[in-house]
Chains A and B, each alone.
Chain A
């Protein structure tokens, strides 16, 4: 079976990996427009800031592809698809046959039609080449403007600040990170960003990038002018659907796929930023990975549970700010309950969204220790209704919510001596009744066999 993959990004590489691991000897070929080996695109802001080298952001070296039997052609892209002939045509004119084709060409930055965007000093940030160009220009600039206060915009703004520029973020929406945060969370985040030395203007539409062939600043609707010789546009993504549309494969915002990641054309699949599932283009890594795996297994004809969507989860990677947003955080309609804890002075904001007694979304700003427990509770859809009133307490320990009735509580193993705490038995000698989950044991409890502290225990798989 000949597998052909368009795109050497998260979706393409994860699909190739899944196929290679499940079907040793499979013929897998990846064609990529970029010249660089597979790298962590989300690390570009850190690379821009000079905190990571180019080598450090590469994820799989050439040898990885060789070891997995995957042929990868960098800088050689697919120019056209001929579905009826099960062929693609490459940019060098070659025609290549396939048995299964995966479209994982990702997305490109969306560039709104702003007057003056074609000048020197105006950039987008999506590739290593973009980052190198920005770095070079930044060395000669004093002020920068970032159009778009989303994840990339904020991370890039911080990087430009690290490079010594004075930075202003201009966001169209009334608040930063409109998809990941609510009004209160965004307000708290904005304060943290401003404390980090980045200026923020929200509710502002950019009308023009001023300059005489070289960017000098931006003019916002309403007349405000912000100075900046370097302008970075980070205003969202546009899936790269041209190839599919030209081949009459159905696409709206993204290439339309079903729960097996199949497109409208036979033996052609799509995954990642380029794909649209149930009206949604996720544009985030977890979705690209999950979709790639489903697509790969579907392509192989293997048994795979249908894809039902990805719980959106994003983490802002700005040093000094801990922000993770998961699931449904701006619910509309009936049936949702929102529980908050906020301490603005400390830069802390937590919101939990419940539906039917289960956590379906969370904003965690300055509350890192609850990221893992809440992620697990969302995944497991644990009923937390009996404790709902306590979820807005500052120090509420979300880990205590995992502890349902005894039959499902996990056993824990002492890593020092191997003793296994079995909740079904408890530890009667220490006045711990049968049925007590490990998580409920007091902090001072120790291993009955060797005296090791609770911290030396590891949870065993069920």
Chain B
């Protein structure tokens, strides 16, 4: 599963870790994140994330 990077602040979403504090269990791929999910570090929209090349 690929990691995605927040283009605003650099936070890396790692599917293996998820974002449990915000209702996303470990193992959740980026594509499955709800549309209103935001970057836990800076609050940026999900649409501001890019796949880590």
Contact = CB atoms under 8 A, between A and B. Distances in A.
A461 B35 contact: yes
Given A60-B53, A374-B43, A458-B28, A285 B38 contact: no
Contacts of A380: 36
Contacts of A456: 25-26
Chain A interface secondary structure, helix, strand, loop or mixed? helix
A384 B28 CA distance: 29
Contacts, number: 99
Interface in A1-29: 10
Interface stretch (A102-110, A225-233, A365-373): A365-373
Interface residues of B, number: 31
Given A286-B8, A289-B7, A458 B32 contact: yes
A317 B28 CA distance: 27
B21 A372 contact: yes
A370 to B, nearest CB: 10
B6 to A, nearest CB: 9
A372 B20 contact: no
B22 A373 contact: yes
B44 to A, nearest CB: 6
Given A324-B43, A410-B23, 13 more contacts: A59-B7, A286-B8, A286-B44, A289-B48, A313-B8, A369-B21, A379-B38, A379-B45, A455-B20, A459-B23, A459-B34, A461-B35, A462-B34
29 contacts: A59-B53, A286-B8, A286-B48, A289-B7, A313-B42, A314-B42, A315-B9, A326-B43, A371-B43, A372-B22, A372-B43, A373-B22, A375-B38, A375-B42, A375-B43, A376-B43, A399-B22, A410-B34, A412-B23, A415-B25, A415-B26, A455-B25, A456-B25, A457-B25, A458-B24, A458-B25, A460-B34, A461-B35, A462-B34
Interface of A: 10, 40, 42-43, 59-61, 64, 285-286, 289, 313-315, 317, 324, 326, 368-369, 371-376, 378-380, 399, 410, 412, 415, 438-439, 455-462
Interface of B: 7-10, 18-28, 32, 34-45, 48, 50, 53
